[in-house]
Amino acid sequence: LGSYTTSAAFRGECNYNIARMGVIVHEFVHTLGIPDLYDLGGRYTEDSPNVGGIGGYDTMANPGGQSGRQAYPGFLSAWTKYKIGWLDPIRIQVDGTYEADAAETTPDIFMIGEPYYSFGEYLLIENRQPISFDSRIWNGLGGVLIYHIDDTVNDFLGNSGPGNKFRGFPGQEGWPGNFNHYNVALLQADRLYEQEKAENNGHAEDFWREGD
């Protein structure tokens, strides 16, 4: 018997409301080898309204997507699709102008890795637009999302295995000397590290657009 998952067919207790797809998708993708992408270290503070990680940008972080409604769970991030083997990123190794169609409908994902980053560390870049299950993107504004990936950080910091286990951000005691950062982090265009602080589920200012 290989990997399998089970999910409830109904919502709530003792009723007949059909379950929405968010949690069903989330649990199924675990069987493909993908970890949770919310903050596995727990909530930033006891009353944090969100769970950190990469928020509404991947169903593996938040099955409610951008709106918190599981009927619109959002799409999987560039990293998740890459790790599953659904796409082969286009390597950027020289300066130039590059174009990417919407990530929801095409495999247009860019990677910047060696020689600019050390082994196991790289950037993934995608164009996310408010269409299909991403139609609830904030303010109806899409744009470019940039993820910083470090597949070695958890082993380095003594907690092996994938997932977002070590939040780090300006103002954190010992940062950046403590080397804390997520395995899969969103480089937010507003540079406020709100995902690491679990201050929101994401918003329109996280996207990179012309002029940023």
- pTM of full prediction above 0.85: yes
23 falls in which pLDDT band (50, 70, 90)? confident
Average pLDDT over residues 22-38: 92
Q: Over the stretch 51-76, which tens digit does the pLDDT of each residue have? A: 899 999 999 999 888 988 888 888 99
Q: Over the stretch 170-179, which tens digit does the pLDDT of each residue have? A: 999 999 999 9
Distance of CA 13 to the CA centre of its chain: 30
Percent of the chain topping pLDDT 90: 64
pLDDT confidence of residue 4: 76
pLDDT confidence of residue 98: 94
pLDDT confidence of residue 1: 60
pLDDT confidence of residue 33: 93
Q: Over the stretch 71-103, which tens digit does the pLDDT of each residue have? A: 888 899 999 999 999 999 999 999 999 999 999
pLDDT at residue 206 greater than cutoff 90: yes
pLDDT confidence of residue 159: 82
169 falls in which pLDDT band (50, 70, 90)? very high
